[in-house]
Amino acid sequence: MRRVCFGAVLLVAVSGASLAAEITVFAAASLKEALDANLKAFSAQTRHRVRVSYAGSNALARQIEHGAPADLFISADQEWMDYVEGRKLVVPGTRRNLVGNRLVLIAPTASPVKLAIAPNFALAAALGDGRLALANPHSVPAGKYARAALTQLGVWAAVEKTLTRSENVRASLVLVARAETPLGIVYATDALAEPRVRVVDTFAATLHPPIVYPTALLTGRHNPASQDLLDYLGGAAARAVWVRFGFIAAP
């Protein structure tokens, strides 16, 4: 009898282990701390292993287009998700808006600069001989949001030539954190994640398109565990983590 019971327990253990899967996620760089925390909780609950590649949404979308193996994509704007979906690389019916964010002007913690964001505010004067750290405004979501806001405020032309353009928003954050540039524009969640910077002021949400992170499953992988992760990231437990790291409800 003991041998039979032992065999049954062993069979259950092996069967349970076989259910564990590996999921690959391509995610916008600004999600890192919050997504890492959510994935850790998800893996502990499900035993699925999750691998994440963080980068600018534009770079990730193009990698997906060229066949990079990923199960789930989280973009920092709608346009790059549209790009992937337009190439029929999104599983129909799985796209959803995950979270939202805010755009902020930051400076090194020790910087004395004070600015109130308003039409024609003195951003260029505050930079002096320094540069403004900004994700590439032609392709990276954070940079595109920033360009839209600065254009509406009437100061884009005055600062465009001062830009230090980075490949993603986290690279801009690092430049300010190291005091290599006196000011930068990043997401509010980025500023919260970096103690060496402080928020000078926050851009009104009406100054740029809504900051939203759409997510969707990708075609060609057929990984059932990916749906589990997609559902988890939109659930109550994950929402509490998103909020803790400064994200807001998707517009």
pLDDT digits (tens, 9 = 90+) for 195-243: 999 999 999 999 999 999 999 999 988 899 999 999 999 999 999 999 9
pLDDT beyond 70 at 17:
no
* Arithmetic mean of pLDDT, 116-143: 97
Are 28 and 96 within one domain? Answer: yes
pLDDT tens digits for range 33-58: 999 999 999 999 999 999 999 999 99
Are 92 and 109 within one domain? Answer: no
Are 71 and 117 within one domain? Answer: no
Are 203 and 118 within one domain? Answer: yes
Determine, yes or no, domain membership for 43: yes
Range of the domain at 189: 103-207
pTM over 0.85? The answer is yes
Determine, yes or no, domain membership for 34: yes
pLDDT beyond 80 at 5:
no
pLDDT at 42: 97
Determine, yes or no, domain membership for 249: no
Determine, yes or no, domain membership for 8: no
Are 199 and 130 within one domain? Answer: yes
Are 202 and 109 within one domain? Answer: yes
pLDDT at 164: 97
Determine, yes or no, domain membership for 198: yes
Determine, yes or no, domain membership for 9: no
Are 23 and 91 within one domain? Answer: yes
pLDDT at 108: 98
Are 88 and 149 within one domain? Answer: no
pLDDT at 222: 83
pLDDT beyond 50 at 3:
no
* Arithmetic mean of pLDDT, 102-121: 98
Instruction: Grade residue 126 by pLDDT with cuts at 50, 70 and 90.
Output: very high
Determine, yes or no, domain membership for 124: yes
pLDDT tens digits for range 141-200: 999 999 999 999 999 999 999 999 999 999 999 999 999 999 999 999 999 999 999 999
pLDDT beyond 70 at 10:
no
pLDDT beyond 50 at 117:
yes
Are 94 and 117 within one domain? Answer: no
CATH of the domain at 86: 3.40.190.10
pLDDT at 129: 95
pLDDT at 2: 41
Are 223 and 142 within one domain? Answer: no
Are 227 and 203 within one domain? Answer: no
Instruction: Grade residue 15 by pLDDT with cuts at 50, 70 and 90.
Output: very low
Determine, yes or no, domain membership for 31: yes
Are 237 and 183 within one domain? Answer: no
Cα 170 from Cα 31, distance rounded (Å):
10
Number of domains, the chain: 2
pLDDT beyond 70 at 4:
no
